[in-house]
Structure 1
Amino acid sequence: MSVLDRYALSRRRLLTVFGGAAVTALSIPLESGKALAQAVFRTYPFQLGVASGDPSPDGFVIWTRLAPEPFEIGYGMPMAPVAVDWEVADAPNMRNIVAKGAAIAPPELGHSVHVEVGGLQPNRDYWYRFTAGKERSLVGRARTTPALGAALDRVRFAVSGCQNYEQGYYTAYRRMAEDNPDFVFCYGDYIYEGRGNRVWNSANGPVENIRQHVGSEIYSLDDYRRRYAQYKMDADLQAAHAAAPWFAVWDDHETDNNWVGDHDQDGTDPKLFNLRRQAAVQAYYENMPLRASSFPAGTSLQIYRRAAYGQLLNLNLLDTRQFRSAQPCDGKYPAACPGLDEPRAEVIGAAQEKWLMDGLMGSKATWNVIAQQVMMMDLDRDPAQGVQVNPDSWAGYRIPRGRLLSRIRDARIANVAVLTGDEHQNFAGDLYVDGTKSEAAPIASEFVVTSITSGGDGADQRDEYAKIQAGNPMLKFNNSQRGYAICEATSKAFVTEFKVLDAVTRRDGKLSTRAKWALEAGKPGIVQA
């Protein structure tokens, strides 16, 4: 019997006696005459908010995690399963309940709850909430995807990630929630794994962090749980989760900076690093609104997946960490070494690459979106010194990069938009197998979305990137402020609106649109909108 089966709702398995400092129990009668325990919390248990994710035409996942004392050992919960009720309604006032039930929050999963709601109507808003004992969560909004093959006027969604807690406030998330997107694609770096630091040594000298991580660098499951709790307690991030369903993927900092496969940046014995990966994988699942199909197995998590938005858009979510071979050039940045042309190198692995190409070739949607983590443009990062690339991007893996783009080109797959994060900057440009030398027209186009906070306030464009843009003709736009993007797909165009804040080191940062770049349907190459 699987862990999930073991914790499927069963009245016989509901908790009858609680222990621990933050929660006790009362018994209430059931129709059968048996007793069902009702938790009584001394501290509000929904400290980490609620979330929805991975929507489908008939439902979505709704998530919460009980943590009355998020930073304490055991986070204020007894080491026993706890019953949590859930409701879904067709309006934010929650008066007309269209689905409801009860779930188990097991201690093995940090008392998290992942309810896969089904039986709903396609392409419409719903609202949800949880109850544990007499305590009730805030209300979140979710939205189902359109029916398969449905005709749509538009899809409008947000792109975000790289949210280093120490380097800024999450004002961008509050503004993103107000934008009311159909969904959010989070490209990763949801947490950062480093120790708490009072001062950050930035490129411009020492900067005092405006807030600080709790504890040292994280290694154990308890460490990762506390770090997620610190991030999730932020009210602006909670607002963004409550505003729309998320499609979440990870990048490196959910485990360790620049990790790939079973390699970390410090050369740790893979057997030891895999112990850390197991803790990171479990904590990620516990804290994200993921389906049971992504349930962790050791160091593995099924995170590449696909969603369809009618005839308009197919969303292909990639994993560029789990199946990647070791970084070339010892991970040094910028890089120029023979390892860039390693013939056996992989970024997404053979199975995922086949899955992606099968999906792209079988797609009948107007727009084919590849939503992933690391830049696919092969930017020369130091044009004055010959070709030097970022080894932690697709440019560091020339063989698999060229193979994928060549296959897209040769299959004549049109209207491909790549969405990326990781760089802590905004970029918009076109994709070729080899710079702009070998193709008459771009194969696809890429929109790289800046960080929520990582990198601090930033600037319109850093001096070195003005030189990089001048030396890389495929790159059309670059900006180094913080923020997020809103993408809107219609039958005519795929438009990315880069939204930036003038500051993230104060809470009243002002949001503005820095630029809009678009792909026109059937016409390769981006244009300014």
Structure 2
Amino acid sequence: MSHTPPPAASGLSRRRLLQGAAVLGAGAGLGALGGPAPSALGAPALVRSRPEVRWGVQSGDVTARSAVVWSKTDRPARMLVEVVATADSRRVRGRWQVDVGPDTDHAGKVHLDGLPAGTELFYRVRFDADGQDSEPVVGRLRTAPRDRRDVTFAWSGDVAGQGWGINPDSGGMTGFEAVRRLQPDFFLHSGDNVYADGPLQERVVLPDGSVWRNVVTPEKSKVAETLDEFRGQYRYNLLDANVRAMAAEVPLLVQWDDHEVTNNWYPGEVLTDERYTVRDVDTLAARGRQAFTEYTPLGGDRVQRALSYGPLVDVVALDLRTHRGPNTENLAPDGPGTRILGEDQLARVSRQLRTSRALWKVVASDMPIGLVVPDGEVAQEGIANRDPGSPAGRELEIARLLSDLKRHGVRNVVWLTADVHYTAAHHYSPERASTTDFDPFWEFVSGPLHAGTFGPSELDATFGPRVVFSRTGARAGEEPNDSSQFLGHVRIDGDSGVMTVELRDIGGRVLHRTDLTPA
């Protein structure tokens, strides 16, 4: 999605200060480990340091019996994972291991299985390298229940966009702390986990004359092109204590959108952006996808997947990037211009929703259905095409999916998304639409979690959307603060089955609430 960058930055090089601090920290670490100090008269003594785990731990794709655990170290090592009942328990319920090396940037994932359902569990991660063990790092997860107990989850997206990175003066990426405080069963990250096309500057002067200070790393100083530069986008976010703390306590379900690669990308595109020396988008996408899968607790390598979280909810995550056609005016009656899911994914998603036995079916979409998201003056980046008439272009695949769900009697379907950098509640109805072959449904939008704010966007009337609520920031591209960043929170009551959807700002205020009674 196209967004306006922040004002130009200037002044003291924060990067040089950080690099100097890192050198000092490394020297201090040797003393803390009790190793011998370098000799002033002879060659330095060899110190065998312990592997580092400064990027924390994450869990993801949690079900009743399984989960994925992620972590990373700084050298080739064996990643060892233990599952225990309490954080300090010595009674181990299961052990797993995997070797990590430079082929994954020393990041590793283990797939835990045979877990007890509906149970809070702790996991300890450590790395062994040549007999040297790292400090253990502890995480927590809750497996999906098999009974109808309450389920809660949160969602948002869009991190480190529009030039807003980690600002120590404002507490860092505090949107993640807002998620952690809610203690949801899991967090749905709706895409734009990173802004690989959004370099950061060290100082940004705000409209009131104050200065926003970004932590900056070499990889965040330019657009990402090499594999290591894409990896550096994720390493950057993990510098933030809020990000690490939330990921250690709340399991993730991650999607991707465009900024994990570059703005508004599609397969086969050739960039004209002069910031890039690598302009073949397929090459950039392959590198961006590898970094995404290496640095997130994604189970497998497919972004599109279904997560069953007990009898109350299944989440079906979409991938609106991998199979889409080019960005055009989005009015084609057939052909490549109609693709947003692709035939195989469309059939798979329909089947996953039709066969779901859960009370609620959540479609996790990395883009909204009815909001117009342009790519320049003519082309469209999103599903909607700005024409209120019958479905055309990418709308055709969505119309087929909605029609299929109606034909098979699939009820209680809710769409959740982010992408547009504000929060809104939309109700879609055939009574207001130019096409009538679908059942009414809700779509809730919430974000950004740490990026500039925009909106509201224009609504395309094809599927009969109505804005029930919307809230934007105070100005376009506004810096992250308690009232300009948004997330959604869902609670499904185990007794009644009522789904309560709250749209919140990260300051903790509930801006809108909708109670949905299941059919």
Residue 338 of structure 2 is aligned to residue 340 of structure 1: no
> For the residues of structure 1 that align with 2:354 and 2:231, how far apart are their CA atoms?
40
Residue 469 of structure 2 is aligned to residue 477 of structure 1: yes
- Secondary structure of the 2:284 match is helix
Aligned residue identity for 1:347: I
Partner of 2:412: 415
Aligned residue identity for 1:142: L
Residue 90 of structure 2 is aligned to residue 95 of structure 1: yes
Partner of 1:12: none
- Secondary structure of the 1:240 match is helix
Cα offsets for 1:277-323 (capped at 9, x unmatched): 221111111101123x31xxxxxxx1111111232111101101101
> For the residues of structure 1 that align with 2:436 and 2:416, how far apart are their CA atoms?
21
Partner of 1:306: 306
Q: How many Å apart are 1:372 and its aligned residue?
A: 1.6
Aligned residue identity for 1:113: G
Query: Comparing both structures, which one devotes a greater share of its residues to strand?
Result: 1
Residue 65 of structure 2 is aligned to residue 58 of structure 1: yes
Q: Percent identity?
A: 23
Q: TM-score, normalised by structure 1?
A: 0.74
Residue 261 of structure 2 is aligned to residue 255 of structure 1: yes
Are the equivalent residues in 2 in contact too, given 1:395–1:401 (CA < 8 A)? no
Q: TM-score, normalised by structure 2?
A: 0.76
> For the residues of structure 1 that align with 2:373 and 2:319, how far apart are their CA atoms?
24
Residue 433 of structure 2 is aligned to residue 428 of structure 1: no
Residue 288 of structure 2 is aligned to residue 280 of structure 1: yes
Q: How many Å apart are 1:262 and its aligned residue?
A: 3.1
> For the residues of structure 2 that align with 1:425 and 1:347, how far apart are their CA atoms?
23
Q: How many Å apart are 1:136 and its aligned residue?
A: 1.7
Cα offsets for 1:371-408 (capped at 9, x unmatched): 12000125699xxxxxx999222213222222222222
> For the residues of structure 2 that align with 1:235 and 1:113, how far apart are their CA atoms?
20
Residue 374 of structure 2 is aligned to residue 374 of structure 1: no
Aligned residue identity for 2:256: W
Cα offsets for 1:405-452 (capped at 9, x unmatched): 222233332111001010111111123469535449853210111111
Aligned residue identity for 1:54: D
Partner of 2:114: 119
- Are residues 97 and 443 of structure 1, via their aligned partners in 2, closer, same or farther at CA, if it must alter by over 3 Å? same
What stretches of structure 1 move > 3 A for 4+ residues in a row?
39-44, 198-202, 204-210, 264-271, 378-381, 432-442, 467-473
Residue 510 of structure 2 is aligned to residue 496 of structure 1: no
Partner of 2:178: 175
**Residues 52-451 of structure 1: matches in 2 within 5 Å?**
52-67=59-74, 77=75, 81-132=76-127, 133-146=132-145, 150-164=146-160, 166-167=163-164, 169-193=172-196, 194-198=198-202, 209-214=212-217, 215-263=221-269, 266=272, 272-291=280-299, 293-294=300-301, 302-329=302-329, 339-344=330-335, 345-378=338-371, 391-396=380-385, 397-432=394-429, 436-439=433-436, 443-451=440-448
Aligned residue identity for 2:113: G
- Secondary structure of the 2:384 match is helix
- Secondary structure of the 2:244 match is helix
Are the equivalent residues in 2 in contact too, given 1:129–1:136 (CA < 8 A)? no
Are the equivalent residues in 1 in contact too, given 2:164–2:200 (CA < 8 A)? no
- Are residues 304 and 425 of structure 1, via their aligned partners in 2, closer, same or farther at CA, if it must alter by over 3 Å? same
> For the residues of structure 2 that align with 1:63 and 1:161, how far apart are their CA atoms?
20
Q: How many Å apart are 1:324 and its aligned residue?
A: 0.7
> For the residues of structure 1 that align with 2:121 and 2:157, how far apart are their CA atoms?
25
Q: How many Å apart are 1:484 and its aligned residue?
A: 1.5
Are the equivalent residues in 2 in contact too, given 1:405–1:432 (CA < 8 A)? no
Is the deviation greater in 178-187 or in 158-167? 158-167
Cα offsets for 1:221-249 (capped at 9, x unmatched): 11112221111111000011011211111
- Are residues 320 and 100 of structure 1, via their aligned partners in 2, closer, same or farther at CA, if it must alter by over 3 Å? same
- Are residues 328 and 53 of structure 1, via their aligned partners in 2, closer, same or farther at CA, if it must alter by over 3 Å? same
Are the equivalent residues in 2 in contact too, given 1:52–1:241 (CA < 8 A)? yes
- Secondary structure of the 1:395 match is coil
- Secondary structure of the 2:331 match is helix
> For the residues of structure 1 that align with 2:447 and 2:255, how far apart are their CA atoms?
16
Are the equivalent residues in 1 in contact too, given 2:156–2:417 (CA < 8 A)? no
Q: How many Å apart are 1:85 and its aligned residue?
A: 2.0
Unaligned 5+ segments in structure 2 are 1-26, 31-45, 166-171, 386-393, 473-483
Cα offsets for 1:173-204 (capped at 9, x unmatched): 112112111111111111111222346799x8
Are the equivalent residues in 1 in contact too, given 2:328–2:378 (CA < 8 A)? no
Are the equivalent residues in 1 in contact too, given 2:324–2:339 (CA < 8 A)? yes
> For the residues of structure 2 that align with 1:206 and 1:446, how far apart are their CA atoms?
38
Matched positions, count: 435
Residue 478 of structure 2 is aligned to residue 486 of structure 1: no
CA RMSD in angstroms comes to: 3.4
Is the deviation greater in 476-485 or in 128-137? 128-137
Aligned residue identity for 1:479: R
- Secondary structure of the 1:303 match is coil
- Secondary structure of the 1:185 match is strand
Q: How many Å apart are 1:65 and its aligned residue?
A: 0.9
> For the residues of structure 2 that align with 1:328 and 1:206, how far apart are their CA atoms?
41
Aligned residue identity for 1:452: L
Quick one: which of 492, 510, 514 aligns to 2:511?
514
Q: How many Å apart are 1:42 and its aligned residue?
A: 4.0
- Are residues 496 and 405 of structure 1, via their aligned partners in 2, closer, same or farther at CA, if it must alter by over 3 Å? same
Unaligned 5+ segments in structure 1 are 1-20, 24-38, 68-76, 295-301, 330-338, 382-387, 502-509, 523-529
> For the residues of structure 2 that align with 1:56 and 1:390, how far apart are their CA atoms?
40
> For the residues of structure 1 that align with 2:54 and 2:61, how far apart are their CA atoms?
22
